[in-house]
Structure 1
Amino acid sequence: MIGNSPIDPKKTYTVATNSYIALGQGGYKFEAKFEPTRKKLLDAIQNYIKEKGGQLSCNTTRNWFVVPDYVDHWANEYIDILISKKIVSGDKYGRYNPDANMTRAEASKILLSIYDLSPSSPAKGKFKDVPKSHWAYGFIEGGVKVGMWSWMGNTFGLNSNVTREEVFTNIIFSVGAKAQAEAISAADMAQFEANFADASTCSPWAKKYIAYGTKVGIVGGIAKDGKLYVNPKANIKRGEVATIMAKARFPMVAVMATSDVRTEIDSGRVDPTNDRKIGGWNGLAYTVGNIRALYDKNVLLDAGGMISGTAWAELAGGKMATGFMNALGYDAMTFGIRDFYLGGETIKARAKEIPQNIAVLAANAEGIDGAKKSVLKNVSGIKVGIVGAIDPDTNTYICDGDLSGIKINQIAQSVNTEIKVLKSQGAEIVVVIASASGYIELGKSAKDGFKGPAAQLAGQLSGANIMFISGAPMSFVAPTNSGIWVISPGIGGSSLGFAKVRFDAKNRSIDAIDSSLNYTYSDLLDNEIKPAAATFANTVKTFVEGQKSAMKADVDRVIGRTETGFDFNDSNESLLGDFITEYASDKLGVDIIVFPSDQTKKGIAPGSITVKDVYQILPVDDTWVKGKISGAKIKEICESSVSGERGVLQLWGLSFVFTRSKDPGNRVSEAYIIKNDEKFPVDTSKTYSIAMPSREYHTLPGFGHEVLRNVTTDVNSSCIYLRKTIFEYIKKLTEAGQPVNQAKRKFGFVEP
C-alpha cells in the first residue's frame, strides 16, 4: 500500500532510502534507478538540526525514526512554526505532504486556529453536506461566524480542494481585517490591478480582500516571465497554505547589520573552508538581496566602521561609503572609532549629506548636526525602534583637535533613555547598533565566554532585544543573561549579522529570535540566488563601477618610487616593517617603537609607488600612542615579540638575542637599545620611552600582545597617524629626488 492505495505495478514510484540499502548492502536487494541525493539530503538535515539549535525531535513509529518530509521543502520554516504551535499536524505516518492539495475541511481548521478563533457548534449549520458529527463541523461554523465562506451556497464540499482565492479571502477574516479590506481605496485597487497580470480573473466576492492582502503583505503572487499572477482559481498546496498562515500570525522581520566594512568593495578575504573569496560589494549585495527576497519585512543597519578604511572610502572623504550605503538601501547607521580618523569635520559633513532615508544615530554624542538619538521604523505594520551609539573610547584614540568639538558620553545611560522613548512611542522590537568591542573566549560557550566592553554594556541595557556591535576582533553571536542577543557582524563585509525576529501579530509581541551570521560569498551558486537579488546586485554594481572609474586616477596616482621594494611577512620581521617603524621614529622621538607585523597586508615591489599601494600596506589607519616602560620589563616585550601571538612585533631601537630551545620566559638572554647605530645594553634600573599603535595598547585579552598594555605606563595619544605619516615620508623623499629604499636590518632579534 502507498498511503491508502494499493501499489500499481505499471506505475513508477519515487523512493528515498539510505545509501547502505541502495547499494545492496546487508543482504538487501534494491533494484532501482536512483539519483545521488545523499549530499542534498545531508545538507537539508544538517540545516534543519542547526535551525533547531542542535536538537532534532523526530516522529517515531514501529522503531522507525522519521525525518519530517518537509525538511528540504522551500516552506519548511513556516510548516515548522505551525507544527510547533500545534496549529497543524502530519498524518499518521508523520508526513505533512507539503506539495499535496488541501481540502476545504482541512483549510477550515487552520484558518480558524491561526488566530486562536473558537470553533462553533450551532444546532443547525450553514451547509447541508456538513453533518454535526464531522470533525470539521466546529471549525467550519466558527469560520462562518466571523464571515468566512459567506459567498458559498448551502453546499460546502468537505473533500473539495480549496482554491487560492478562497484561502486569500478567508485569511482576511481570520486576522480581523474585514473592515479595512472593505474600505480599500480606488487607488489601491488600481495598484493591485497594475501589479498582478490576472487581477481581473478574481471572483467579485474575493477581489477587494485579495487586493488588501497583497497591500499589507499577508498574501502574494506567483512570478512568471517577469510578471506577477494571483492565479485565483488554482488549487492551493499545503506548503503554500502553511506559509500564508505563518506569515499572517507570525511574520518574520529580518534584521541585518554590517560592521567594520571600511568600504572594502573589492573582496580580499578568503573562506578557509573552500578557498573562495568572501565579502566585498558583490557578496554583500547578493546576500542582502537574497534575504530581502525571502523576507519582505526587513531592515539593514551598520554598527560603525563603514566610511573609513580603504582608498575608495577616504580619498572621497567617506562620500563613496555613504553612497554605497544608499545603493544597498541601509535604514540606519552609526559611526565607529576609526571613522573619526577622517576628522570630526568630515563626520559632521557625512552626517548632513547622508540621504534622509538612512538615519544617522548617535544617542551618546553631542555636536554632530544631522544625527539623531534613535529612530522608529514602521516595517510593514511592525514598529522597530533603533538606537545608535558611539564608543566613548573614541576620546582616547582620537586627538581632541580632530574631534572638532564632538563630545562622546558613556553609552548605557544614553541608550537606556532612548529605549524608554521608543517604547513610549510603541516600539515592538528594539535594536541597538553600537561601536562597542567584545569577544568570546576560546573553548567556552557563546554565553559563558562572552567578554569585553560589549558584554558589560549588554548587562547594563534594559528593554533592548538585539545589539549589533563594531570594533570586535572576531564575528560572533552571543546570548546574554539579560535576554539581549549580541551580534558582531565581522570585518570587511565578509559576513552579515542576521537576526530573524518572529513576531506574534495577534499579541503584538516577539515570539522568538533566531540570530546567526550569513557569510557573504561572492561566488554564490546560481540556484542559491533569487532573481530579485541578482537584479539588486546589478544596481549596486553599476554604482560601484561608476565610482571606481571616477576615482581611478586618484587611486593609481604615482607618489614615489623604490629600487629595493619592501618584502612583506605577517608572521616575521621584514623590510616593510622596518620602513613603517623607521619613518615614524623622527616624529615620535622615543627610544623604542613596536609594530605588529599582521597590521600590514601587502608588500611593495620595486618600481613606482601609488596611492593604492600605501592603502594596501595599511588597510586600516591607526594612531601611535606613547608611554613609558621600565628596563626590567623590556625582556617581556622581547619574549612576546616572537611568541607568534598575532604575528611578530616589529621593533625599532631595540635588538635582542633569542634562543628558541629554552623555556618560555627564559629565551631572551641579551637586549640592547640602539641609538645612532650604537648598541647599549638595556639598563633594568632605567625607564625608557616607547610607542605602539593604539590598537596594540587597547587590544582585548587573547587577541594580541597584551603584555604591551600590562608593562606600559603613562600612555597618551601622540596625535600621529600611521598611514598619514607614510604619505608624508614618501612625499618628503620624492620632493628631494630620493627613492624610498630600505637599508639592511639593524633592529629586532637574532638567534645564536
Structure 2
Amino acid sequence: MTKKKAFLTSAVTAAAVAAAFAPAASAATPTFTDVAPQYQDAVNYLVVNGITDGLTPTTFGTDLHIKRVDAALLIARSLGFSEKSPYSKITYKDVPARAQWAVAALKDAGIMDGKNSETFDPNAPLTRNEVAKVLVNAAQLGVDDTVKSTQFTDVNSNFAKFVDRLVEFEITQGKNATTFGATDAVKRGELALFIARADGLLNYYELMVMHTNDTHAYLEKAPYRATAVKEIREFYDNTLLLDAGDVFSGDLYFNLFKGQADLPLMNYMGYDAMVFGNHEFDLGDDTAGHKELADFVKGTQFPMLGGNLDFSKDPAMKSLEIQGFTDTPVVGKSQYGTILTVNGHKIGVFGLTTVETPTIASTASVQFLDYIKSAEAAVKHFESKGVNKIIALSHLGFDDSVRYDNDIELAKRVEGIDLIVGGHTHSELKEGYVSNVFDAPTLIVQAKQYGDLLGTADVIFDKDGHIVDYAVELIATNKDTFEADAGAAAILKPFADAVAAKKAEPTKAVAEVALPAPRLDATNTTDSVRANETLLGNLIADGMLATAKSINPATSIAFTNGGGIRAGIDAGPITVGEVLTVMPFGNALGILELKGSEIKAALEHSVAQFPRENGGFLHVAGMKFEFDPSKAAGSRVTKVEVMENGAFVALDDAKTYFAATNTFTAKGGDGYSMLGAASAEGRLSEPGIVDFQMFIDYIESLDKVNPTIEGRITTIGN
C-alpha cells in the first residue's frame, strides 16, 4: 500500500499559503473607514465572499475583540459548512439561535469545543491560543503531540503544538521573538487576517474512500482486506468504506450461507454503505419475495442504498424500506440515499442498481426506476440540505450497454455528482476515469472483482464540494501484501471449515467415463483441450447452452474457451472440489446477440493457430463446423451448421443468433475482438451465473454423465 499522508499538503497547502488571496472579481469591494492597510485585503476577502459583514456600512470594527460565538460563525462559513445541513444537537445551553448551526458544525468536526459540556461561553473573547487550536483543527494540519513548548515563553504545553504548527505554515507569528500573546484577545481584523491567510487550507477537505464491488462471496481474502482497511483508517483522518453491490452469488460461501457469511465480516470491517447489485435479487420468489435478501439487510450495521428501487410490493422487503432519503444512516434498512458525516463534513451518498436486473435476475415484484431521474432527484435533495459533496454508489456498470445504463452515461447526464463508486462490469480502473462534461469533474472508480483488490480514491474537495485533486490506487489484498486480521479470520473460520467439507462432498452426478482435459506433451502429440473436440469440452458447452436457454429461450448455440478448462474429471462420483479445479476462475455466463458472419469470424479465430495449442480454442454446443488447417489462417472454416428444430442447417451470415459464452470471451478475451465489439455495442446480456455452479446444476440434471465425441469440430484436408 502506498501511503500518502502528505498528499493534501503537497497538492494544496504549499501553493495556497504562498498565493495571494483576493476577493471575487464580480462582487463589490466594501469600503470601511476603520480598516488599516494591513487588514484591507483580508477584510475585503471575508466580506466579498459572504463570510461576515461590517458592523455598519462604513465600519468593520477592526480593533474590537471578537467573541467566541462570532468567531464560530466566521470559521464555519470559511469552511463551507451550510446552515441547511443537519448537525448533531449541541448540549451547550448558552449559544444564541443564530449561531447554533455553526457551533454544532464545528463541534461535529472536532474543531471548536465549549468551556464544558453545558457552556460554550459565547460572549467571551477568543484568545490567540484558542484561534491557533481552532485553525489548525479546521485546516487538518495535524500536530506533533510530543511538542510541549515553543520559542514563545507565554505559550503553555496545552497549546504549544497548535501554535507551533500555525507558525510553521506562516499563518501567524509572535508579538516578538519570545512572546506570542497567548492569552490576548483576538481582534476582528486579526481574525480576518488569520482566516484569509489560511484560506487555501480551510477551503479544502481530504477524504479517503475505500471501496469494493462484485465480491460474490469470495471470502478467502477477507481477513487481508480487513487489515488493509485498518491500516488506512489509522493513516487517514477522514475515511469511508463503501461496497458497490453483488455480494450475493458466486462462491460456495454463498451457496451454503446465502449472504450470512459475508454479513459478519462486512460489519466487522465497518462498511459505511452498500448498494444493491443485480445478484442480490437472484433468489427472489414471486410469492415469498426476497427472504434471503431481507435476512441480509436486517443484519447490516450499515445502510443499504436503493435510490431507484421500489420494494413496496415485495412481501419480505417492504417492511425494511424507507421510501426516501435519510439525514443520518438508518442501519438494517433500505433507503434511497443518506448523509454520512465524516469529521463534521456531510457527504451525500445514494445508490443506483442497473435497470437490466429484471432480465438477468429473479426480481419478482421489485420495481426498478429510471436511473437518470433517480440520480437527479438525489442530487437535488442533497443540495437542498446544504450538502455539496455527493457520491453515487453505483451498480450500473462502468461501460455496460447504454441501452440500459452505465456510469459513463450517468456522469454525462447528471450534474452535481462528484464521485461514482461503481460495480457490475468488474472493471479494473487503475487510475480512475474522469468525466469533464460539466464545469466540475466527476471521478469514476471501480475495483475489479472477487475481493482481490481494495479500491482507494483519495480525493480533495474545495469549499464548493468539487474535486480539485485525487489519487486512485487498487491495493491487492492477499497474504503477499498483508497479514490476516485475527478478528476477521476468526469470524471466517467456521464458514471456511464448512466450505472445505462441502468441496470434498460428491455432487449428485457420477461420471460413467473419465473426462480428461488433455494437453500436448512428449507422450501426447494429438489430443488437446486447446486444439480438439473433447468429452469435457462438449459437456461444459452443453451445460452453458441449457442454462442460457432457461434465461433466453432464443439462445441456440454456445461456445467456451479451452483455456478455461484447467483439469479433467475422473470416472466415478464427481465432487464439488473436482469441478472447482476444472474451472477455478469463476467466469460468468454471457449471452451475445451476433450475426452469423460474426460467429464465423469467431470460429476462424478459434482455429487460426491449429495445430498449435490455443487457450482461445472454442468448444461448441448447438452447432458443428469443419475447418481445413492447410488453408491460411482466417480462411480455414469451410462449413458451419446450427441446430434448428431438431436438425442442423447452414449458418446464415446475415441472420441474428443468440450465443452463450463466458463474459471473459464475450468481452474480447483471447483476442476475440469481434465479440468484444459486439459487447461494447450493448449486445451482451450478463445473467451473471458462475460457470462451476452452472456446470454442477447441469450434470445433476442428467440421467447419466456420459458425453461422446460427436463430430462437432472436424478437420478436413491435410
Q: TM-score, normalised by structure 1?
A: 0.60
List per-residue Cα deviations over 1:501-528 (Å, max 9, x = no partner). Answer: 3244xx4644624041322242466xxx
Matches within 5 A, 1:335-374: 335-343=276-284, 347=290, 349-351=292-294, 353-354=296-297, 355-367=299-311, 368-369=317-318, 370=320, 371-374=334-337
Give the superposition deviation at 1:700: 8.3
1:478 counterpart = 2:424: no
Alpha carbons of 1:397 and 1:501: their partners in 2 closer, same or farther (altered >3 Å)? same
Q: Give the superposed CA RMSD.
A: 5.5
Count of residues paired in the alignment: 554
Question: What is the deviation of 1:186?
Answer: 4.9
Residue from 460, 468, 473 that aligns with 1:512: 468
Q: Please say if residues 253 and 261 of structure 2, whose CA atoms lie closer than 8 Å, have aligned partners that are also in contact.
A: yes
Q: Distance in 1 between matches of 2:623 and 2:587?
A: 24
CA distance in 1, matches of 2:5, 2:17: 20
2:33 is matched with: none
Matches of 1:595 and 1:470, distance apart in 2 = 26
- Structure 2 counterpart SS, 1:296: coil
* Alignment CA distance shift 1:385-1:602 (3 Å): farther
Q: Using the TM superposition, give the Cα deviation of residue 475 of structure 1 relative to its aligned residue in structure 2, in angstroms.
A: 1.2
Give the corresponding residue for 1:635: 600
SS at 2:257's partner residue?
A: coil
Deviation at 1:357, TM superposition (A): 3.3
Q: Is the 8 A contact 1:673 1:681 kept in 2?
A: yes
Shift of the 253–471 alpha-carbon distance from structure 1 to 2, 3 Å rule, reads same
| CA displacement 1:622-677 (0-9 Å, x = unmatched) | 567598976x775344224446999333212433333467556523123345899x
The DSSP-based 3-state class of the residue aligned with 2:258 is: coil
- Paired position in structure 2 for 1:60: none
**For residues 287-318 of structure 1, what are the alpha-carbon distances to aligned partners after superposition, in whole Å with 9 as ceiling and x for unaligned?**
32222122121111111222221111232112
Write the distance in 2 (CA, Å) between the matches of 1:628 and 1:76.
48
Do the aligned partners of residues 493 and 551 (structure 1) sit closer, same or farther apart at CA in structure 2, a change above 3 Å counting? closer
Partner of 2:700: 731
> 2:343 — aligned with what?
380
Mapped to 1, the partners of 2:674 and 2:366 lie a distance apart of 31
**Structure-2 separation of matches of 1:513 and 1:521:** 25
- Map 1:517-532 to 2 at 5 A: 517-523=473-479
2:606 & 2:139 partners in 1: Cα distance? Answer: 60
Write out per-residue CA displacement over residues 323-365 of structure 1, whole angstroms, 9 at most, x where no aligned residue.
3322221111112233433436685542453345311111112
SS at match of 1:395: helix
1:411, 1:73 → 2: CA distance?
Answer: 35
Aligned equivalents of 1:713, 1:629: Cα separation in 2: 14
Change in CA separation of 1:144 and 1:211 when aligned onto 2, cut-off 3 Å: same
Q: Which runs of 5+ in 2 are unaligned?
A: 21-37, 48-61, 69-101, 121-126, 147-156, 172-197, 312-316, 321-333, 520-528
The aligned amino acid for 1:514 is: Y
Q: Aligned equivalents of 1:601 and 1:642: distance in 2?
A: 17
Match of 1:51 in 2: none
Larger mean Cα displacement after TM superposition, 412-421 or 362-371 = 362-371
Give the match's secondary structure for 1:603. coil
Superposition deviation, residue 468 in structure 1? 1.8
Distance (whole Å) between structure 1 residues aligned to residue 557 and residue 684 of structure 2: 14
Q: How far apart, CA to CA, are the structure 1 residues paired with 2:377 and 2:308?
A: 10
CA distance in 2, matches of 1:384, 1:293: 20
After superposition, residues 692-711 of structure 1 pair within 5 angstroms as 692-693=660-661, 695=663, 699=667, 705-706=674-675
Q: Kindly indicate whether residue 206 of structure 2 is the aligned counterpart of residue 252 of structure 1.
A: yes
Q: Which of 548, 562, 566 is equivalent to 2:496?
A: 548
CA contact (8 A) 2:350 2:391 kept: yes
Question: Is this contact kept in 1: 2:598–2:674, CA < 8 A?
Answer: no
| Cα distance change of structure 1 residues 342 and 600 upon mapping to structure 2, 3 Å threshold | farther
Task: Map Cα deviations across residues 394-435 of structure 1 (whole Å, 9 max, x no partner).
Answer: 22223xxx2221122331111111121122122221011212
Match status 1:411 vs 2:379: no
Q: 1:183 aligns with which of 89, 94, 114?
A: 114
Shift of residue 389 of structure 1? 0.8
Taking a change above 3 Å as real, the CA distance of residues 524 and 216 of structure 1, as seen in their structure-2 partners, is farther
Q: Which moved more, 1:453-462 or 1:742-751?
A: 742-751
Mapped contact 1:697–1:709 kept (Cα < 8 A):
no
> What displacement does 1:383 show?
0.6
- Who is 1:159 aligned against? none
Q: What are the within-5 Å matches in structure 2 for residues 20-59 of structure 1?
A: none
Q: Which residue matches 1:86? A: 17
How many Å apart are 1:586 and its aligned residue?
6.7
Evaluate the alpha carbon distance shift between residue 254 and residue 744 of structure 1 in structure 2; reply closer, same or farther with a 3 A threshold.
Answer: same
What is the identity, as a one-letter code, of the residue corresponding to 1:455? Answer: I
CA contact (8 A) 1:308 1:342 kept: no
Match of 1:457 among 374, 393, 410: 410
Describe the SS at the equivalent of 1:415: helix
CA drift of 1:78 comes to 1.9
Once residues 695 and 727 of structure 1 are traced to their aligned partners in structure 2, the CA distance between those partners, rounded to angstroms, is 19
Which position in structure 2 is the counterpart of 1:610? 575
Matches for 1:97-108 after TM superposition, within 5 Å: none
Per-residue CA deviation, residues 544-567 of structure 1 (Å, 9 max, x unaligned), is: 223323444334322245452442
Q: Distance in 2 between matches of 1:83 and 1:180?
A: 22
Query: Are the equivalent residues in 1 in contact too, given 2:560–2:662 (CA < 8 A)?
Result: no
The one-letter code matched in structure 1 to 2:422 is: I
Q: CA deviation at 1:183?
A: 1.7
CA contact (8 A) 2:569 2:578 kept: no
Is structure 2 residue 490 aligned with structure 1 residue 490? no
What CA deviation, in whole Å up to 9, does each residue of 1:127-184 have, x standing for no partner?
xxxxxxxxxxxxxxx9996699xxxxxxxxxxxxxxxxxxxxxxx99x9889984525
1:568-597 CA-to-partner distances (Å, cap 9, x unmatched) read 889666543322123466785989532332
Deviations 1:99-136 (A, max 9, x none): xxxxxxxxxx9xx99x9889xxxxxxxxxxxxxxxxxx
> Is the 1:319–1:350 Cα contact (8 Å) retained in structure 2?
no
- CA deviations on 1:526-555 (whole Å, 9 max, x unpaired) are xxx7xxxx6x93322222223323444334
Change (3 A) 1:671 1:718: same
Partner of 2:387: 427
* Residues 493-502 or 72-81, more deviating: 72-81
Q: Aligned residues: percent identity?
A: 18
Asked if 2 retains the 8 angstrom alpha-carbon contact of 1:262 and 1:307, the reply is yes
Work out the CA distance in 2 between the residues paired with 1:745 and 1:73. Answer: 60
Distance change in 2, residues 1:667/1:487 (3 Å): same
Report if aligned partners of 1:499, 1:513 keep a CA contact under 8 Å in 2.
no
In structure 2, what residue type is equivalent to 1:365? Answer: L
1:264 lines up with 2:236 in the alignment: no
- Conserved? CA contact 2:545–2:660, under 8 Å: no
2:227 maps to 286
| Letter aligned with residue 597 of structure 1 | N
* 1:232-253 deviation digits (Å, cap 9, x = unpaired): 7679987996699887663311
Cα distance in 2 between the residues matched to 1:250 and 1:591:
54
| 1-structure distance, mates of 2:563, 2:545 | 18
CA–CA distance in structure 2, aligned partners of residues 406 and 383 of structure 1: 30
SS in 2 for 1:464: coil
Q: How many Å apart are 1:205 and its aligned residue?
A: 11
In structure 1, stretches of 5+ residues that fail to align are 1-42, 48-71, 90-108, 119-141, 149-171, 190-203, 224-229, 267-279, 441-450
Structure 1 pair 651/181, CA: closer, same or farther in 2 (3 Å)?
A: closer
